[in-house]
Amino acid sequence: MTGYLPKEVQDGLDQARKAALKKSSRLRVRAGDDVYHVLKAWEDGFALDAEFAAHLRGRVALYDGTRLISHCLIIAAEEDGDEMRFEYKRMTEATDTQPLDFYRAPDAPVALIGSK
């Protein structure tokens, strides 16, 4: 048995694999108005389709579906076949509240009650 597949069959298999990775992952990267599907993700980086995102770098936003996860500063690390791998230079987690510029004691009052 040989390990050879015709080019058309191999291309079809590669396209099906990419489509399955895009469907299975909810992670998206947004750079300006452009949105890219994350094919793979790991602790200090992620991979995108090299055909569409080979030029990507700088500040991006990472989403899980429609929920913002973090703001990231990324660099292109390497191209691996049809995937472009990116690494985080900096990653800032997104929060639902504004950061405070002072210390709030845990037992501090929530509001003031006026006297009559």
Measured distance between the N- and C-terminal CA atoms of the chain, rounded to whole angstroms: 93
Structure confidence by residue, pLDDT tens digits, 59-93: 999 998 888 999 999 998 888 888 899 999 998 88
Rounded CA-CA distance 56/85 in Å is: 10
Question: Is residue 81 domain-resident?
Answer: yes
Structure confidence by residue, pLDDT tens digits, 30-42: 998 999 989 888 8
Tokens of 3: 């390990």
Sheet with 34-37, edge to edge strand ranges: 34-37, 27-31, 58-64, 67-80, 83-93, 45-49, 40-42
Question: Is residue 113 domain-resident?
Answer: no
Measured at the alpha carbon of residue 40, what is the angle toward residues 37 and 44, in degrees to the nearest 5? 110
The number of folded domains in the chain is 1
Q: What is the mean pLDDT of the chain?
A: 83
Question: Is residue 87 domain-resident?
Answer: yes
Query: What CATH number does residue 82 fall under?
Result: 2.40.10.430
Question: Is residue 5 domain-resident?
Answer: no
